[in-house]
Amino acid sequence: MQGGSSGIGYGLKYQARCISDVKADTDHTSFLTGTLSLKEENEVHLIRLSSGGSELICEGLFSHPSEIWDLSSCPFDQRIFSTVFSSGETYGAAIWQIPELYGQLNSPQLERIASLDAHTCKIKCVLWWPSGRQDKLISVDEENLLLWSLDSSRKAAQVQSKESAGMLHYLSGGAWDPHDVNAVALTCDSAIQFWDLRTMKKENTIEHPHVRNIDYDSKKKHILVTAEDESGIHIWDLRMPKFPAQEFSGHSHWTWTVKCNPEYDRLILSAGTDSAVNLWLASAPSGDNPSESLVESPTRQSNPLLNSYTDYEDSVYGLAWSSREPWIFASLSYDGRPCAFILETCGHTGGGRISEAISSEKMKANSLVLWYGTIPSHCKTLLADFEFIGIHTIYFI
Amino acid sequence: MGNDDLPMDEKAKRMRDLLSSFYSPDPSMLVSNNSPSKYASLDAINTPSFDPDQYMNLLTKSLVTTVNGLDPDQSMNLLVQKSNLEGLLQRHVEMAAEIKNLDTDLQMLNVFSWFSRGTNLEHVFIYNSSISRMNSNIVGMEANMEQLLEKIMSMQSRSDGVNTSLFEKREHIEKLHRTRNLLCKVQFIYDLPTKLNKCIKSGAYADAVRFYTGAAPIFKAYGDSSFRDCKRASEEAVLTIIKNLQGKIFSDSESIQSRAEAVVLLKRLDFPVDSLKSQLLEKLEQFLSQLQLEQCETANDSNHSNEPSNQGNAEATTHEASVVWTDVLLIDEVLPEAGLADFSLEAAHVAIKQYVTSRFSHLIQDISDSLTAQTGEKDGEEYSLLVTLEASKKTVVQGSMDILSDFRQLLDDKLDLLMKLKGYIIDWVQEGFQNFFRSLDDQFLFLSGKNETVSQDQGITDGLHGEKVLARLVLVLAQLSVFIEKSAIPREIAASFSGGGVQDYKHGPAFIPGEICRIFRSTGEKFLHLCVNMKTQKISVVLKKRFTTPNWVKHKEPREVHMFVDLFLQELEAIRMEVKQILPQGLVHRHHRSESTGSTTSSRSNPLRDDKLIRSNTPKGRSQLLETHLAKLFKQKLDIFTKVEYTQESVVTTIVKLCLKSFQEFVRLQTFNRSGFQQIQLDIHFLRTPLKEIAEDEAVVDFLLDEVIVAASERCLDPIPLEPPILEKLVQAKLAKSKEQNPPTA
């Protein structure tokens, strides 16, 4: 369990569970995170990766009424986000807007755009459509799926439709298909349910118990990744839903969450209650591997686990890829310490940067190198030195 | 000259005597060659009453030596003369040689006379006179020779006369002879149909064919005229023969040899052999496929028959193969162009290959049967995992060894056919083993339900087996994998392979024990993990129910230890019992540690924990707690999720650890009021003792139990713990109650 590069750290005051990538912020790589404190004043932090990529800076700190169980940033407006919160027996979900002039205010208050207050039982999550502007919003509680129409200018959210998941199906979460605005996958105790939002009907079900988290591959249609308590990670091809297409061992304890890379398909991140974050590379489905590189990494065939980041001191519940810089991800362990990790990557542009990267000081730490595309021939000799320098995880995708 | 004959002889004789008395030469060296026997024999030949047979003999003999270019008609006559002349010529040569001898004698005498001249004048005189006499003798001999020639000439003319007088007779005899032959032949042809029929009746087709082919040219020449009836009759007979022969060829009851003979006969009868050949080939193909079938049958037989007869299978196969091979060799002898040897080699190839694969697949079936037979019986009250494991182990090893010995036997039989394939067979068996273990691995995965793509159709039924059975099975599989990796392959199978090592690898050995070991090692680990996961999952369900059902925020004051701990401990105990059956004990014994570190940790941790909880009420104290707690977690993190080992303690401890971690996670998802927190506190307090008994690593268990309480206090709105005396009281009450409920187990 070695080899994780030490990440760029940050500290929250309290315990925390959720972190979200601010997708709409195209200028900076920033994340939103909220605390989970039963008795103290909770906070939402807007943190940004400095331009050098060396530290996480707090861009905004806002107080939040109660402990945050779910937080997600609006994919088309960087100032809007949603939270799911509870306090003792009360629970709620709301859409918030970061005040425009928060930098100049002393104690900026979050502006509540809308309250998603049509729930009758414990709310699990709020979903935005990940692929663009969409005035719809989904919220999931233990028993129901609600579709909201959100009018951010009029600051109102209305329940468009509401459907019960059925008796004895306790919903635990869900994911909105980035390829199909009408398709939502929900997880419950014993199965994954696929809903069509137009009809608000359950279209399909995969009987697969103990799913804790679910994520669609944003690049490849029909691909869904699930995280389970004990049995690890499964990749599903929804065209063949009977059996998982692939299976990873997951974590030593529960696999809490999985996130597909927004840019590079097959690259999957998972976090678990064994205080670790694992980076996986799914093997290409047979038949379509268009940009397979010249260099075949032998380890890749046998071990899909690319790297394991283990510098955490408590269970990791929060995980987010940066969609702006898809080689950066942020993780959040329960002790309230968000951590950003940068996977060293050399982009598509050719050999210049890879040789730079190899010779740079940074590479002497055990960092993970992702190289997309083919390797320029003059770099191959440099690559031969990798072992010598002491880097042992190089993957060519 | 005739007058001088006598005195000349006299003189010569005297002279010779003289010489002989003087030099003692051979006294009878001159005249003895005149043997009259030659004349006699020649006369005998020339006598008119000679035997014609003898004549024929002579004729044939002399033909060899006759001068080329002679008219064969005259040959007889000449030969009579020649044998006479030969004699004469011989005599002439002999005489010439005599003369020569005499000449040398004379010269020698001259020489001697020279020598003796000086000693005895008288002698000289005698010599001189004798020499002159000898000279005259020789002259006389010449005259004799001429006389002789004359005699020869007259004899020749006389023998010519005899010859001419005999010639006609001879010619006549010859003519008669030829006629007789012709008559014989005609007789033969007239008899042919009856003969043929006789042959058909007796089945002597070979003779019939010989007769018919002998007569064929005659039929060809005269068939349309004089022998028409005869020809027709015999052709009919031949047609029946052909029919019979064909029947013979295609009848399976006939031996291959007789069938081959029949083909040869047909061929001699100018039967269209090509069509016949193709037909025959078809037939042979059938025959071959039949052979193949037989082999398959043998293979199948050997597979379907049960253990006792297993030994005999190889023998049966070899026997079968040997029978087939001798047949094939026979066919090959008579019909090399059929390439039967190749065919049969191919057939044997296929058959043996099939045999190998079927053997292995059968073995796999055996193993999975023995695995599922006992574990599958849910109703069978007393089935121990150990029995299953041992049975499976035995099946693996015994089955493999059986296969090996079978094939070794096959090779040892030194059957020609199999010897040719020896290299292949060894390769196949090795390959077979490689594939066998691979598919055994697959089969294991399939049985465990892990490999869901394989279990497509059986997945549902497997699911019905229930987790309990499956988890047991997985445990057995894990242990079996270890067994295969650790002992079965390296010790038994690989060892016996190296013993029978044969040089005939083309691409290196097909059986790589190392690879198989690696596969099984990883499979074993996988199964162990799977087993642990399954068990944990089961307990997780219990825990989940425990945490999701009550409303923790409105929890009532704890009155007793919650029931779920019983369930929890019961499950753990069951796991322990199962594990105990199969897995070996770890090297480190529990009591060893509990004496030293374990007890101290627990005694120390209790006040510490209480201290923490009290302090955690203030914010400052809380963050301090968090820090120390984090430091502790960091220090011990690696201890929580250690590698599972194949020991009872390791497995049980891992399960306990995972369950406690799950416990913690479930707690973190809830919000508690004071009573809810106290209930958790009480339950954990109760669990502490039995869990430490069950698990190996007391320190970690203590730590994790503390963690649960910390998590509960964090998620509690009003975390005021129960007083230790109350805790103790409630725990004692619970213990008393459980003792009361089931005294025998206690």
Contact A12, A336 (CB under 8 A): yes
- d(Cα A254, Cα B663) in Å, to the nearest integer? 12
Q: Can you give the pLDDT at residue A183?
A: 92
Chain A contact probe: residue of B629, B637, B667 with most A CBs at under 10 A: B637
- Higher-confidence residue of B681 and B401: namely B681
Q: Can you give the pLDDT at residue B70?
A: 45
Tokens representing residue B325 in the block: 């091979």
Residues 70..99 of B with a Cβ closer than 8 Å to A: which?
Answer: none
Contact B243, B269 (CB under 8 A): no
Provide, as residue numbers in chain B, all residues whose Cβ is less than 8 Å from the Cβ of A335: 626, 630
Judged against a pLDDT cut of 60, whether residue A74 lies above it is answered with yes
Of A369, A313, A304, give the one whose Cα is nearest residue A339: A313
Provide, as residue numbers in chain A, all residues whose Cβ is less than 8 Å from the Cβ of B637: 275, 313
Indicate whether this complex's ipTM tops 0.90: no
- d(Cα A253, Cα A273) in Å, to the nearest integer? 6
Distances (CA, A) of A40 to A15, B5, B597, B669: 11, 178, 38, 17
Residue A192: φ, ψ to 5°: -110, 130
- Higher-confidence residue of B450 and B500: namely B450
Judged against a pLDDT cut of 50, whether residue A174 lies above it is answered with yes
The H or E element containing residue B254 is: none
Same-domain pairing of A377 and A247: no
How is residue A363 annotated by DSSP?
A: G
Of A243, A244, A313, nearest to B634 by CB-CB distance is A313
**pLDDT tens, residue by residue, B290-318:** 666 665 555 444 444 333 334 345 556 55
Of B186, B294, B200, B201, give the one whose Cα is nearest residue B242: B200
Residue written as token pair 């063949």: A240
Same-domain pairing of A350 and A386: yes
Work out the minimum CA distance from A1 to partner chain B, whole angstroms.
Answer: 9
Same-domain pairing of A327 and A350: no
Crossing angle for the helix pair B619-640 and B599-615, to the nearest 10 degrees: 150
Chain B contact probe: residue of A86, A231, A252 with most B CBs at under 10 A: A252
Same-domain pairing of A65 and A146: yes
The H or E element containing residue B476 is: helix B466-483
Helices assigned H by DSSP within B377-421: 385-412, 416-420
Q: Can you give the pLDDT at residue B258?
A: 75
| Mean pLDDT, residues A66-85 taken together | 92
| Mean pLDDT, residues B180-209 taken together | 82
Q: A309, A327, A342: which is the final residue of a domain?
A: A342
Residues 515..544 of B with a Cβ closer than 8 Å to A: which?
Answer: 529, 533-534, 536-537, 540
Same-domain pairing of A189 and A301: yes
Domain that includes residue A42, residue range: 2-342
Q: Would you list the DSSP string of A261-328? A: -SSSTTEEEEEETTTEEEEEEPPPPTT--TT--SSPPHHHHH--EEEEE---SS-EEEEEE-SSSTTE
- d(Cα A72, Cα A31) in Å, to the nearest integer? 10
Provide, as residue numbers in chain A, all residues whose Cβ is less than 8 Å from the Cβ of B717: 38-39, 88
Contacts of B460 (CB under 8 A, 6+ apart): none
What rounded mean pLDDT belongs to chain B?
Answer: 71
Of B568, B551, B537, give the one whose Cα is nearest residue B695: B568
Q: A143-182: b or e for each residue (b if 16 or more CB lie within 10 Å)?
A: bbbbbbebebeeeebeebebbebeeebbbbbbbbbbeeee
pTM across the whole model: 0.64
Number of structural domains chain A divides into = 2
Of B660, B643, B644, give the one whose Cα is nearest residue B707: B660
| Mean pLDDT, residues A343-360 taken together | 45
- d(Cα A205, Cα A190) in Å, to the nearest integer? 10
Residue length of chain B: 746
Residue A183: φ, ψ to 5°: -115, 130
Work out the minimum CA distance from A135 to partner chain B, whole angstroms.
Answer: 31
Residue B407: φ, ψ to 5°: -70, -35
Q: B594-629: b or e for each residue (b if 16 or more CB lie within 10 Å)?
A: beeebeebbeebeeebeebbeebeeeeebeebbeeb
- Higher-confidence residue of B686 and B463: namely B686
Same-domain pairing of A77 and A134: yes
Residues 664..693 of B with a Cβ closer than 8 Å to A: which?
Answer: 665, 668, 671
Residues 428..467 of B with a Cβ closer than 8 Å to A: which?
Answer: 452-453, 456
Q: Which of B26-40, B92-106, B641-655, B672-686 has the lowest mean pLDDT?
A: B26-40
Q: Can you give the pLDDT at residue B156?
A: 93
Distances (CA, A) of B566 to A214, B233, B506, B561: 34, 108, 63, 9
B665/A334 CB distance under 8 A = no
Judged against a pLDDT cut of 60, whether residue A393 lies above it is answered with no
**pLDDT tens, residue by residue, B338-363:** 566 666 677 677 777 777 778 778 88
Distances (CA, A) of B591 to A38, A352, B338, B669: 42, 63, 81, 36
Same-domain pairing of A40 and A130: yes
Residue written as token pair 């627990």: B602
Q: Can you give the pLDDT at residue B77?
A: 55
Q: A342, A362, A377: which is the final residue of a domain?
A: A342
**pLDDT tens, residue by residue, B491-543:** 666 655 554 444 444 445 566 777 778 888 888 888 888 888 888 888 888 88
**For chain B, how big is the Rg over CA atoms in Å?**
59
Amino acid at residue number B619: P
Q: Can you give the pLDDT at residue B56?
A: 54
- Higher-confidence residue of A313 and B513: namely A313
Work out the minimum CA distance from B514 to partner chain A, whole angstroms.
Answer: 17
Work out the minimum CA distance from B319 to partner chain A, whole angstroms.
Answer: 47
Pick the residue from chain A with its C-alpha nearest to B619.
Answer: A40
Amino acid at residue number A295: V
Crossing angle for the helix pair B121-202 and B5-23, to the nearest 10 degrees: 100
Contacts of B410 (CB under 8 A, 6+ apart): B314, B317, B318, B418, B425
Same-domain pairing of A216 and A361: no
| Mean pLDDT, residues B157-163 taken together | 91
Pick the residue from chain B with its C-alpha nearest to A276.
Answer: B637
Same-domain pairing of A336 and A381: no
Of A1, A210, A273, nearest to B661 by CB-CB distance is A273
- d(Cα A32, Cα A77) in Å, to the nearest integer? 13
Contact B598, B698 (CB under 8 A): yes
Same-domain pairing of A44 and A176: yes
Tokens representing residue B251 in the block: 């009848």
B630/A249 CB distance under 8 A = no
What is the end-to-end Cα distance of chain B in Å, rounded?
162
Q: Nearest 10 degrees: CA dihedral of A4, A7, A11, A14?
A: -30
B626/A243 CB distance under 8 A = no
Q: Which of A340-344, B92-96, B261-265, B575-579 has the lowest mean pLDDT?
A: A340-344
Q: Would you list the DSSP string of A26-88? A: SSS-EEEEEE--SSS-EEEEEEEE-TTSS-EEEEEEEEESSEEEEEEE-SS-TTEEEEEEEET
- d(Cα B353, Cα B343) in Å, to the nearest integer? 15
3-state secondary structure of A128: coil
Q: Can you give the pLDDT at residue B517?
A: 81
Distances (CA, A) of B568 to A56, B246, B340, B544, B648: 44, 85, 73, 12, 18
Amino acid at residue number B575: I
Residue A42: φ, ψ to 5°: -85, 160
Of A170, A93, A191, A79, give the one whose Cα is nearest residue A138: A93
Amino acid at residue number B465: H
B658/A315 CB distance under 8 A = no
Same-domain pairing of A155 and A167: yes
Pick the residue from chain B with its C-alpha nearest to A256.
Answer: B665
User: Strands A67-73 and A80-87: what pairing?
Assistant: antiparallel
Q: Which of A208-222, A381-395, B553-567, B681-695 has the lowest mean pLDDT?
A: A381-395
CATH number for the domain spanning A313: value is 2.130.10.10
**pLDDT tens, residue by residue, B693-715:** 888 778 888 888 988 998 999 89
A88/B553 CB distance under 8 A = yes
Same-domain pairing of A70 and A172: yes
Q: Nearest 10 degrees: CA dihedral of A144, A149, A154, A155?
A: 30
User: Strands A344-345 and A369-371: what pairing?
Assistant: parallel
